[in-house]
Amino acid sequence: MYALPFDENRCLNCQGADCLVKCQYIEIDRDRAREEMVRIARGEDSPVLRECVTCYGCEEYCPMGNHPFYLIAEKQEALGIPPVPGPLVRRAVNLGLPFRGEPQIREINGPVLNMAAFSELTPLIQGKLFEGLPVISTDGRKMFHYFCQLMYLHYAKSSVIKERLPGVIATIMRHRPTEVICFHDECYGTYTSYCPGVGIDVPFTPVHFFEYLYNRLSELKDLIRPVGLKVVYQRPCSSRLSPGKHRFVNKIFRLIGADEVEREFVDENALCCGGTIQGQRKEGSRKRSAAIQRKNIEDMKKAGAEICVFNCPACLQTLGGMVAREGIRPVYMSDLCRLAIGETPSGWR
């Protein structure tokens, strides 16, 4: 069975214990941080397991190449202390069950864009940026066959990921892709971080969506007219699994002439959208989530943002209405890119 080979010696030798010291949601000093991580690695209970908001941040902060968040999620499951109440866990586990028959398989033998569990967003995939690019998982009734399952880290259900993910990879492989461009970067994180972490083989080359957009925009650079909008970026939790690709946000903004305004909660210091925090068991989670959201949006406003650019549909679902009520327009990155090459995204006024 797939297992996470966590090396506690790396934690013992870690000087900074950044995984927890940098955590925006847990107050802890360096010595205790190191101690708690070692306790967790040894399968002992730790307040960290109960305090963790599952923001994925520690995966990025860890300088030792360990996987602190994957470890936390595994130990939460092993010790029976999920961060959310049992009914939410069961609901989430059932959510990913395919129930509308088998997907239609078309052999591609080339690069493919995987919409995964966001088939309903297929209308975003329009225009010159995506010309000639085959797309899979476009049927909302079948999309859970392509669902990367990593969401279950929020529910302390690593076992579900390990059980289902090989089947999902096998389904994707039936299309015979060479490269799989991941619409959602949680999928990208799954295939480039989680799978190697626990020993699941990925027989295709995953490509980050923003890297694809950047490369495609570069090909179309003669069409680009600077958008000249003041933008902020809502970084999703899953981006922490592929920090090396986060640079494409900045590169795209520069390429399309978007003015990324300076703000406090950006890059490593980005705040969670609050979607997973609001339902957690810890007392006051709903209010805590709302406070984080307020802090985040106030920061956007203070920076003078006109546009909040989203990567993750779940973040947009959680924060989109709130930023809009504050006069900041929520936009998917791909739509902003389309605007830059003279196309009009649907609904754009």
* Site residues (vs other proteins, CB under 8 A): 82, 84-88, 90-92, 94-95, 97, 99, 275, 278-279, 281, 283-287, 290, 318, 321
CA distances for 99 relative to 157, 237, 324, angstroms? 21, 28, 35
* 86 vs 166 by CB, closer to other proteins: 86
Closest CB 324 distance from other proteins, rounded Å = 10
Residue with tokens 């790396």: 10
- Closer Cβ to other proteins, 5 or 284, answer by number: 284
Kindly state the smallest distance separating residue 204's Cβ from other proteins, in Å: 28
- Contacts of residue 262, defined as CB under 8 A and 6 or more positions apart, other chains included, come to 303
Nearer to other proteins, 200 or 290 (CB): 290
In the complex, minimum distance from the CB of residue 91 to other proteins, in angstroms, rounded to a whole number: 5
Beta carbons of 192 and 206 less than 8 angstroms apart: yes
Give whichever of 155 and 210 is closer to other proteins, judged by the CB atom: 155
Q: Which is nearer to other proteins, 88 or 202 (CB)?
A: 88
Choose among 158, 224, 250: nearest CA to 197: 158
Q: By C-beta, is 279 or 345 nearer to other proteins? A: 279
CA torsion sign for 68, 74, 77, 79 is negative
Task: Closer to other proteins by CB, 1 or 97: give it.
Answer: 97
| Cβ–Cβ under 8 Å, residues 175 and 110 | no
Distance of CA 297 to the CA centre of its chain: 19
307-310 vs 329-332, strand pairing mode: parallel
**Closest distance of CB 284 from other proteins, Å:** 8
What is the C-alpha to C-alpha distance for residues 346 and 349, in angstroms, rounded to an integer? 9
- Taking the CA atoms of residue 248, residue 152, residue 116 and residue 25 in that order, the dihedral angle to the nearest 10 degrees is -30
Q: Nearest approach, Cβ of 278 to other proteins (angstroms)?
A: 6
- 320, 133, 345, 338: which is closest to 252 by C-alpha? 338
**Least distance to other proteins from the beta carbon of 319, Å?**
12
Residue 76 Cβ, how far from other proteins at the closest point, in Å?
13
Which residues is 329 bridged to in the sheet?
A: 307
- Which CB sits closer to other proteins, 154 or 263? 154
| CA-wise closest residue to 212 among 168, 180, 178, 176 | 180
Tokens matching residue 205? 């080359």
* Least distance CB 270 / other proteins (angstroms): 21
3-state secondary structure of 227: coil
